[in-house]
């Protein structure tokens, strides 16, 4: 099967004449068919926990665009919810959570082994996808990396600078470390169960890694991802890992070896030429077209796509955006990007 799955070939270190392509948030609000399914589900969390509808929105961009990979439709905040945090979404504003800033708050969380009670619908979604995707399409499971998940659990919402998490880390390191440990252990179990259900690759999203400075970047972004990667490889030898320490800048250099991942996803804050010289030398890379091109399209999209493909053509590369497509992205621009990657 691997020989027909270009994503798996790239993750195994093969340099392909045409890079495989998928897109972060490819199942999402820019698609009219997603909006219709979301309305059917009623609200975002209901969609995440409805296996048939979550599978449907995962299938939609595969049907429309023929991406080389499908990524499970879920949310990084399902793990905090499974651990016992309250999670809800405010329309137009995003997620809200009950905050955890004390040892008592951590003690009130469920043991990590209990997460499967809440997350079993997600595993059912993976099974549906594994059985229903085209033979050539790779199925990617995912989770948020511990630092990023912790920032939401501590602040109770997304914040511009992750200030509440930094404050807890500075003011009560034992509590912060205990929360990171709980998230890390739960993430291993969550990803392992996704793999058992049929995920062929798993990805760790550390969306707020770039706000960590100095030794904290290694201690709280890279090391937790390394622990998770090592545990997954011990449990599921041969399953590749993609790691995304977004905002790492020059610190992307060396992350293959530090984390132990087959692939490092890079954002658009670094150039593809720099990535080729400093990151791709150690393994597969994924990225890194600016998401704004999915809004504006045109010649700039085509030229930037070609430049990235050319810059990363000497090593294993999975074409993707530097971050997720935004709700104002245009499906015709997505198609133009795919045609450019595949057609030159």
Q: What is the pLDDT along the chain (344 residues), one digit of tens a residue?
A: 566 899 999 999 999 999 999 999 999 999 999 999 999 999 999 999 999 999 999 999 999 999 999 999 999 999 999 999 999 998 888 899 999 999 999 999 999 999 999 999 999 999 999 999 999 999 999 999 999 999 999 999 999 999 999 999 999 999 999 999 999 999 999 999 999 999 999 999 999 999 999 999 999 999 999 999 999 999 999 999 999 999 999 999 999 999 999 999 999 999 999 999 999 999 999 999 999 999 999 999 999 999 999 999 999 999 999 999 999 999 999 999 999 999 96
The two structure tokens encoding residue 35:
């909006």
Answer whether the bond into residue 288 is a cis peptide, omega within 30°: yes
Q: What is the pLDDT of residue 182?
A: 98
Indicate which residue of 29, 96, 157, 307 is catalytic: 29
Q: What is the pLDDT of residue 1?
A: 54
Sign of CA dihedral 35, 40, 46, 52: negative
Distance CA 203, CA 14 (A): 19
Give every strand in the sheet of 201-206, ordered side by side: 69-71, 138-144, 201-206, 241-245, 263-265, 284-289, 317-321
Indicate which residue of 9, 49, 75, 123 is catalytic: 75
Three-class DSSP category at 96: strand
Q: What is the DSSP string of 188-211?
A: HHHHHHHHHHT-SEEEEEETTGGG
Indicate which residue of 9, 30, 34, 38 is catalytic: 38
Q: What is the pLDDT of residue 4?
A: 83
Where along the chain do its domains lie? 2-244
Q: What is the pLDDT of residue 91?
A: 82
Indicate which residue of 25, 182, 246, 253 is catalytic: 25
Q: What is the pLDDT of residue 344?
A: 65
Of the candidates 60, 23, 58, 59, the one whose C-alpha atom is nearest the C-alpha of residue 301 is 23
Q: What is the pLDDT of residue 2?
A: 61
264: β partners:
243, 285
Pairing of strands 94-97, 87-90: antiparallel
Indicate which residue of 30, 34, 152, 190 is catalytic: 152
38: annotated active-site residue:
yes
29: annotated active-site residue:
yes
320: β partners:
288
182: annotated active-site residue:
no
The residue behind tokens 């905002």 is 247
25: annotated active-site residue:
yes
The two structure tokens encoding residue 285:
């890379």
Encode 257-289 in three state secondary structure: HHHCCCEEECCCCCCHHHHHHHCHHHCEEEEEE
Distance CA 301, CA 218 (A): 34
Give the domain 2-244 fold.
TIM Barrel (3.20.20)
Q: Which residues contact 117 (CB under 8 A, 6 or more apart)?
A: 82
Cα angle, residue 95 at apex, residues 89 and 97 outer, rounded to 5°: 100
């Amino acid at each position: 099967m691997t020989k027909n799955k270009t994503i798996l070939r790239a993750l195994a270190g093969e340099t392909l004449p045409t890079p495989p392509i998928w897109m972060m948030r490819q199942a999402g609000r820019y698609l009219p068919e997603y909006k219709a399914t979301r309305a059917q589900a009623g609200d975002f969390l209901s969609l995440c926990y409805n296996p048939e509808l979550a599978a449907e929105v995962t299938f939609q961009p595969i049907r429309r665009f023929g991406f080389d990979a499908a990524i499970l439709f879920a949310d990084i905040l399902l793990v905090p919810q499974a651990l016992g945090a309250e999670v809800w979404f405010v329309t137009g504003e995003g997620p809200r959570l009950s905050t955890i800033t004390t040892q008592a708050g951590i003690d009130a969380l469920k043991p990590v082994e209990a997460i499967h009670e809440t997350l079993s619908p997600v595993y059912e979604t993976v099974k549906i996808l594994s059985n229903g995707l085209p033979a050539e399409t790779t199925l990617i499971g995912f989770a948020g990396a511990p630092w990023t998940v912790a920032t939401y659990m501590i602040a109770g919402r997304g914040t511009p600078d992750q200030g509440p998490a930094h404050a807890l880390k500075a003011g009560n390191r034992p509590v912060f470390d205990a929360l990171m440990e709980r998230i890390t252990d739960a993430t291993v179990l969550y990803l392992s169960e996704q793999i058992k259900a049929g995920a062929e690759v798993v990805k760790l999203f550390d969306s707020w890694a770039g706000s960590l400075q100095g030794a904290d970047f290694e201690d709280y972004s890279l090391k937790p991802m390394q622990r998770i990667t090592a545990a997954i490889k011990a449990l599921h030898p041969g399953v590749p890992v993609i790691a995304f320490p977004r905002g790492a800048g020059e610190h992307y250099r060396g992350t293959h070896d530090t984390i132990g991942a087959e692939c490092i996803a890079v954002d658009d804050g670094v150039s593809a030429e720099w990535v080729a010289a400093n990151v791709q030398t150690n393994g597969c890379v994924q990225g890194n077209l600016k998401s704004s091109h999915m809004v504006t399209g045109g010649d700039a999209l085509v030229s930037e796509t070609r430049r990235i493909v050319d810059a990363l053509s000497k090593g294993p590369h999975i074409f993707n955006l530097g971050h997720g497509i935004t709700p104002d992205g245009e499906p015709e621009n997505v198609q133009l990007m795919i045609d450019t990657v595949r057609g030159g």
